[in-house]
Amino acid sequence: MAEKEGAELQYLKRYYEAAGSQIIVLYGQKHTGLTQRTTAFCQGKSVLFYRARPCSEREQLFLWGNELRETGVRLAEYPSYSELFQAFYLKQTEKNVIIIEEFQNIVKQSRDFMPSLIHFLHAGEGSCRIMVLLCSTAIGWIESSMVGKIGGAAREISGFLKIKEQSFFDMVRYFTESTRTQQVETYAVLGGFPGLWEHFEKGLSVRENICRFILSENGFLHEEAPGLVARQLRETGVYDTILAALAGGRQKLNELYLHTGFSRAKISVYLKNLMELEIVEKVFSFDTEGREHTRKGVYRIRNHLIAFYFRYVYPHLSRLAEMEPEDFYETYIAPDFRRFVSGSFVEVCREYMGYLNEGKQLPFVYTRMGEWAGKIGDIDIAAQDEEGHTIIGLCSWEKPVMPYEDYEWMLFCARKARLAAEEIYLFAAEGFDRMLMQEAEEKKNLHLIDLHSF
C-alpha cells in the first residue's frame, strides 16, 4: 500500500509543482482512502475544504457560505459560487489548494459551478496559483456521465486520478498480528478497502470481528453493505433481488431471469449499472482453442463485503433479529465459510503469481492471465506469454490439504481446454497429500506452494 500511496501522492505533487492552476478529478469507491490521500497531500499547504451535500443548489450555497462565515469571512446569506471562491484567502507566495469532496452533488444541481470555478482560476493567473481537487466516490457517474454533464468545461480538467482497491498483501501489512489464514479470511469479507479494515479490531479472531461489527445490530458495518447499494442506486429492491440471486450462485443471465422473474433486458441494464459501480463483474473464460468446452461469461459480485452480506445476512434477516450474533454465525456462516473464502483465495494466489511475474521469478514472463471456466470444471489460473508458453494453476482452500485427485482433474480440464502447460502451480491452504509431494519430486515443472510460503 505504501508503494501505491507514494505513486498517487507523487502524481498530485507533480501538478502542484507545475506552473499555473489546475483542476484534478480524484475519485474512487467509498472506503478506498480518498480523504486519507488528500489529507496526506495537503499537509503544510493552504487549503479550502468543503464536503458537498446531496441538496438543492440554494441550500448548497447557504451551507458552504455558513461554513466560511464561521471562520470570520463576510458573505451574503446565499452567496454565488464566484463569491465563495473569492472568499478563499489566497497567499501570493505559494500555491493554494481547494478540495471539494463529493463534488457531483454540486454539479448535478448547478450549471454555474464549473463556469464560476474556471473563471476564478483564469482570473487569478499571474497573481496566484491554485490546485483544485474535485473528489468523488461516485465512480460510475465520473466515468460515464460527468463529461456529458459539464460539457466544454471538461477541457479545463488537467488530470484524473482513480484511487483503486488495495491488494491482499497491502492488507497483510495492516493486520500484521493476524495469522496468514486469518488474513485471507479477513480479505474475503472486507476486500481491499482500508476504510473497512480499520473497523475490524486487531487481536480478535475473524469470527469475533464478524459477530461484533457486522452481525451485531450496533456494529459499525451492520448496515454498510446495503448502504453501499442504496447510496448510489435507485430502485434498491430490484438491485437487492439481483445481488441476492448472484450470491446464491445464479451467475448466468438465464438463471437470473428464471429466479427473479425480471425480463432479460431489465436484468442486463441493472447489471450494467452494478458493473459501472464495480459492485459486480462479468467474467469470461481464458481464450483457448478449446472454446466449445467453455462456459459463456458469468456474473459475480466483485465487492467482498456485499458478497458476504447477500450470501449470509440478507437471506436470514429474520433469524438474525431473533438470534445472538454468535449463534447466527455458527448456524448460517460457519458451515459454509471455507467455501466462501475459497474464491478470495484464488484472487490471492493470482496476486502472488503477479508478484513473481513482475520479479521475473517464473520460468518465463507471461503477458496475460485469467481463468478457464469449463462446462465440466475450472482451471483457476491460466497464463501465457507472447509465444504461447503456458502456466496453469489450481487453488485449494475448501480442502486445506490438496488431494492428488484434484490435480488429475485439473490436467483433464487442461486437455479439454487444449492448454499444453509447460509449468503447473498448485496452491493449498495447508499442504498436499503424499502422492502429490512425490509427483513434485519427480516433475520439475510441478510447483507446490502452501499459504504459509507466501
Residue 122 and residue 235 in one domain? no
pLDDT at 87: 80
Residue 109 and residue 124 in one domain? yes
The answer for 318, left when phi > 0, alpha when psi is -120 to 50, beta otherwise, is: alpha
pLDDT in tens, 53-94: 999 999 999 999 999 999 888 899 999 999 998 887 554 557
Residue 316 and residue 218 in one domain? yes
- pLDDT of 399 over the 80 cut: yes
- Are 287 and 419 within 8 A, CB to CB? no
Residue type at 86 in one-letter notation: Q
Question: The domain that contains 61 carries what CATH number?
Answer: 3.40.50.300
d(CA 155, CA 344): 40
pLDDT at 450: 94
What residues contact 440, with CB distance under 8 A and at least 6 apart? 432, 446, 447, 448
pLDDT at 297: 85
Whether the model pTM is above 0.75: yes
pLDDT at 1: 46
Q: How many domains in the chain?
A: 3
Q: What is the DSSP string of 241-298?
A: HHHHHHHTT--SHHHHHHHH---HHHHHHHHHHHHHTTSEEEE-PPP-S-GGGBPPPE
Residue 152 and residue 184 in one domain? no
Domain span at residue 182 reads 168-340
Average pLDDT over residues 300-316: 98
Average pLDDT over residues 214-220: 96
Residue type at 427 in one-letter notation: F
Question: The domain that contains 363 carries what CATH number?
Answer: 3.40.1350.10
pLDDT at 291: 74
Average pLDDT over residues 121-131: 75
Cell numbers linked to 403 = 488431494
Residue 357 and residue 320 in one domain? no
Average pLDDT over residues 220-245: 94
Domain boundary among 119, 142, 163: 163
Q: What is the average pLDDT value for the chain, to the nearest integer? A: 93
432 phi and psi angles, rounded to 5 deg: -135, 150
- pLDDT of 239 over the 70 cut: yes
428 phi and psi angles, rounded to 5 deg: -135, 150
Residue 300 and residue 201 in one domain? yes
Residue 196 and residue 93 in one domain? no
pLDDT in tens, 136-146: 999 999 999 99
Residue 199 and residue 155 in one domain? no
Question: The domain that contains 208 carries what CATH number?
Answer: 1.10.10.10
Give, in order, the Cα–Cα distances in Å from 412 to each of 44, 376, 379, 419: 61, 10, 10, 10
What residues contact 370, with CB distance under 8 A and at least 6 apart? 284, 285, 286, 287, 382, 383
Per-residue pLDDT band at 381 (split at 50, 70, 90): very high
- 3-state SS, residue 225: helix
d(CA 20, CA 381): 48
- 3-state SS, residue 95: coil
